[in-house]
Amino acid sequence: MHQLMGSSNLFSVLLFLVLLIGWIMIHRWGQRNSKGPKTWPIFGAAIEQLNNYHRMHDWILGYLSESKTITVPMPFTCYIYTADAANVEHILKNNFANYPKGELYKSCMDVLLGDGIFNADGELWRKQRKTASFEFASRNLRDLSTVVFREYSLKLSAILCQLSCIDHQTVDIQDLFMRMTLDSICMVGFGVEIGTLSSTLPDNSFARAFDTANMIVTLRFIDPLWRLKRFFSLGSEAILKQSIKTIDDFTYHVIRRRKEQITMVSQDSNFKDDQMHHDILSRFIKLGCEDHDRDFSTEKSLRDVVLNFVIAGRDTTATTLSWFIYMIITQPRVAEKLHTELKVFEETRSEEEDINLVSYALDDMQSFRSRLSQFAGLLDYDSLGRLHYLHASITETLRLYPAVPQDPKGVLEDDVLPDGTRVKSGGMVTYVPYSMGRTEYNWGHDASVFRPERWLKDDLIFQNSASPFKFTAFQAGPRMCLGKDSAYLQLKMTLSILCRFFHFTLAPDHPPVQYKMMTILSMIHGLNVLVSPREP
Side-chain-facing half-sphere of 162: CA atoms under 13 Å: 10
Q: Which of 243, 252, 241, 244 is nearest to 306 (CA)?
A: 252
Q: Which of 174, 180, 221, 179 is nearest to 56 (CA)?
A: 221
Distance CA 161, CA 101 (A): 44
Q: Which of 35, 41, 100, 108 is nearest to 75 (CA)?
A: 41
> What are the residues whose beta carbons fall under 8 Å from the beta carbon of 82, sequence distance 6 or more?
64, 68, 69, 70, 88, 91, 417, 419, 421, 429, 430, 431, 432
Residue 282, beta-bridge partner list: none
Query: Strand, coil or helix: what is 425?
Result: coil
Cα–Cα separations (whole angstroms), residue 300 to 210, 262, 294, 304, 419: 17, 18, 11, 6, 42
Q: Which of 204, 234, 206, 237 is nearest to 108 (CA)?
A: 237
Cα–Cα separations (whole angstroms), residue 298 to 123, 141, 188, 259: 18, 25, 22, 12
Query: How many beta carbons lie within 10 A of that of residue 120, not counting itself?
Result: 22
Residue 82, beta-bridge partner list: 69, 431
165 annotated among ligand-binding-site residues: no
Distance CA 327, CA 331 (A): 6
Binding site members: 481
Binding site members for heme: 481
